[in-house]
Amino acid sequence: QAVLTQPPSASGTPGQKVTISCSGSSSNIGSNYVYWYQQLPGTAPKLLIYRNDQRPSGVPDRFSGSKSGTSASLAISGLRSEDEADYYCATWDDSLRGWVFGGGTKLTVL
Amino acid sequence: QVQLVQSGAEVKKPGASVKISCKASGYTFSTYGISWVRQAPRQGLEWMGWISTSNANTDFAQKLQGRVTMTTDTSTSTAYMELWSLRSDDTAVYYCARDSCTDGVCYIDYWGQGTLVTVAS
């Protein structure tokens, strides 16, 4: 069981906006930055969002992150077929003294 | 460009050990730490631990304490992860990843391609 809670699946049609949530606690999301990773089928994860809401160079501005209290979310606007992937949230946990991940959300573009 | 190239797939028997290599290029190896993360079949990501490439300090996930070692060879810009006393539930894809640190805050920014380790009798 993952420490961070994500919905197992999400879906949308091309052009729509989809939001993926990530819930934690005061020892992880509540006191540390949140990161989001995209994992396309059969490939390694790729950094999508760092420090809650920052995009690495090369990541389209269709992807945005936010954090409030012990929860975070990833929004994808203008959905495209190539966005179909698994998305993971991650953060440091002060109690466990290690990185923790969400269980992942499989995004389907209908 | 930053690249982390890992060694190939392994098949091991229960009780054996496995050692995976991760060769870095495209950046100064000793200025970024290396984390190891694994992913069991059809499962999520699990952080295993981290090693500093400048002083070899390590930090391991509690559940793996005593079964995992992490080392680096700065002369070849290569990191190694060795897992001992393998069990069937250690079957997973193992990733090395670069830790980027700014103002004391570190996070994983680049990942290796992954190494499949299968533990079966």
Query: Which residues from chain B sit within 8 angstroms of residue A4, using beta carbons?
Result: none
Which residues, listed in sequence order, are joined to residue B70 by a DSSP beta bridge? B81
Helices (H), chain A: none
Q: Is A7 on the interface with B (CB under 8 A)?
A: no
Given pLDDT bands bounded at 50, 70 and 90, which one contains residue B93? very high
Given pLDDT bands bounded at 50, 70 and 90, which one contains residue B12? very high
What percentage of chain B carries pLDDT values higher than 90?
A: 92
Q: How many CB pairs (< 8 A) connect A and B?
A: 53
| Residue in B35, B53, B51, B52 with CA at minimum distance from that of residue B94 | B35
Predicted confidence (pLDDT) at residue B104 exceeds the cutoff of 90? no
Residue range B26-38: average pLDDT? 95
Q: Is A17 on the interface with B (CB under 8 A)?
A: no
Residue range A70-76: average pLDDT? 98
Query: Which residues from chain A sit within 8 angstroms of residue B99, using beta carbons?
Result: none
Query: Which residues from chain B sit within 8 angstroms of residue A37, using beta carbons?
Result: 45, 108
| Residue in A22, A39, A21, A20 with CA at minimum distance from that of residue A84 | A39
Whether the Cβ atoms of residue A44 and residue B114 lie closer than 8 Å to each other:
yes
